[in-house]
Amino acid sequence: MYDNKIVMVQTIVELGKKKRMNSKKRTREDYSDTGAIPKYGTHMVPVPQQLASRVGPAPFSHDESARLERESCDYSIKILLEEAEVGKAPRRVRVYADGIYDMFHSGHARQLMQAKMACPNTYLIVGVCNDELTHKMKGRTVMNGEERYEALRHCRYVDEVVTDAPWTCTPEFLAYHKIDFVAHDDIPYTAGNSEDVYKDIKAKGMFLTTQRTEGISTTDIIARIIKDYDMYVRRNLQRGYTAKELNVSYMKEKKIQFTEKVDKLKDKGREWKDKGKEWIDNWQDRSNEFIGNFLTMFGADGRIGNWIRAISPTMERQEEGSSSNNSSPSSPHLKRKRPSSPASCEVAKELRFNDCSDDDEDDMDNVNNVSDDEI
């Protein structure tokens, strides 16, 4: 009977464990299809697809992965911007952003981030114009086309890169790449003496507005370099570049090198001046400290004097006696020297007369004032 009860309890425990394992397994399977995983088996943690990390650079539009993504999109289903922004789009939203992207900087990255995050479940396509078209419509660039393509491929917000992008988005281009919206700032873009290149896109309601980042642009960066041109030429010359590689004349090179040497001498002069001032200050502090220590040790009230007076009291009494004898210059005990000339004799007589004390004068007055009775 006792053994049967033990068997029943073990059976109930095993059934409970299996039930809990099955429930947890069903929970993970149910939630794995929705792009979310349970946290500690209780709360749901959604994983936004637009922030998923990509392994490797973004593909070009002619790559196989980009072609499969494009073919999987049912472009017959049109999406309105209002429903795309609130996440009610029936399919993945394909957003296109184009530009030159020369000297790719944080302003470009912020613009692409806004385009990527404007709508949930966004597939961001970035078009880059080639060198020939860019030089014709806008001017020379610092980076060539291949460098600009690669810079964009390694941006975390970009899903696909279109090379040799057109200057204006034609209806055929939009249909081929199945583009739902075009992202750019709202300022009319009239480069190349043309009208706003996004005029037709805005009229169709396919324009997605982004904001420019103030204080940073390719033009601003180039202006900074031009402003400090000599400094950057000097730096590159120091790093091994030749004047020919930097397109600098011989006289300009020598001038920059001379200016560099003068600046080094000035810097050394300032350094030695600061060190000299520091040395003088340290010397003054140490000399004052030495003088103070010397006076503390050997001064009139110093440690050595106090120690000598402490071990020889007779010397202290002699010093007190000599100081009392020398305290009054008119003392009668003061021994005067014999004058050595007639002039000095006259001076000595005057000194004897003037040295009469007030006590002697008072005694003479008392003698003269004695009454006859007292006599």
Domain total in the chain: 3
Identify the domain containing residue 238 by its residue range. 228-272
Same-domain pairing of 206 and 234:
no
- Sorted by sequence, the CB contacts under 8 Å of residue 107 that are 6+ apart come out as 212, 213, 216, 217
Q: In this model, does residue 9 exceed pLDDT 70?
A: no
Which of residues 189, 223, 257 is at a domain's end?
223
pLDDT digits (tens, 9 = 90+) for 138-197: 899 999 999 999 999 999 999 999 999 999 999 999 999 999 999 999 888 876 566 888
Is residue 38 in some structural domain?
yes
Is residue 90 in some structural domain?
yes
Q: Determine the pLDDT at residue 39.
A: 36
Render 148-181 in DSSP notation, one character per residue. HHHHHHT-TT-SEEESS--SS--HHHHHHTT--E
Same-domain pairing of 65 and 190:
yes
Is residue 360 in some structural domain?
no
Is residue 356 in some structural domain?
no
Same-domain pairing of 216 and 250:
no
Q: Determine the pLDDT at residue 100.
A: 95
Same-domain pairing of 211 and 268:
no
8-22, 83-97, 268-282, 338-352: which has the minimum mean pLDDT? 338-352
Is residue 82 in some structural domain?
yes
Stretch 263-291: mean pLDDT: 80
Look up residue 189 and give its two tokens. 């873009």
Same-domain pairing of 233 and 249:
yes
Which of residues 272, 299, 329 is at a domain's end?
272
Same-domain pairing of 40 and 66:
no
Is residue 159 in some structural domain?
yes
State the CATH number of the domain containing residue 71: 3.40.50.620
Same-domain pairing of 73 and 217:
yes
Q: Determine the pLDDT at residue 294.
A: 76
Q: How far apart are CA 180 and CA 85, in angstroms?
A: 12
Which of residues 272, 303, 335 is at a domain's end?
272
Is residue 300 in some structural domain?
no
Same-domain pairing of 77 and 158:
yes
Q: Determine the pLDDT at residue 357.
A: 47
Same-domain pairing of 145 and 239:
no
Same-domain pairing of 164 and 37:
no
Q: How far apart are CA 198 and CA 181, in angstroms?
A: 11
Look up residue 133 and give its two tokens. 């078209």
Residue 49 DSSP symbol = G
Question: How do strand 207-210 and strand 36-39 relate by DSSP bridges?
Answer: unpaired
Same-domain pairing of 40 and 152:
no
CA 122 to chain CA centroid, Å, is 35
Is residue 333 in some structural domain?
no
Same-domain pairing of 79 and 216:
yes
pLDDT digits (tens, 9 = 90+) for 71-111: 999 999 999 999 999 999 999 999 999 999 999 999 999 99
pLDDT digits (tens, 9 = 90+) for 226-263: 998 888 888 888 888 888 888 888 888 888 878 878 88
Q: Determine the pLDDT at residue 251.
A: 85
Q: Dihedral of CA 306/310/312/318: which sign?
A: positive
Q: In this model, does residue 372 exceed pLDDT 70?
A: no
**What percent of the chain has a predicted confidence (pLDDT) above 90?**
40
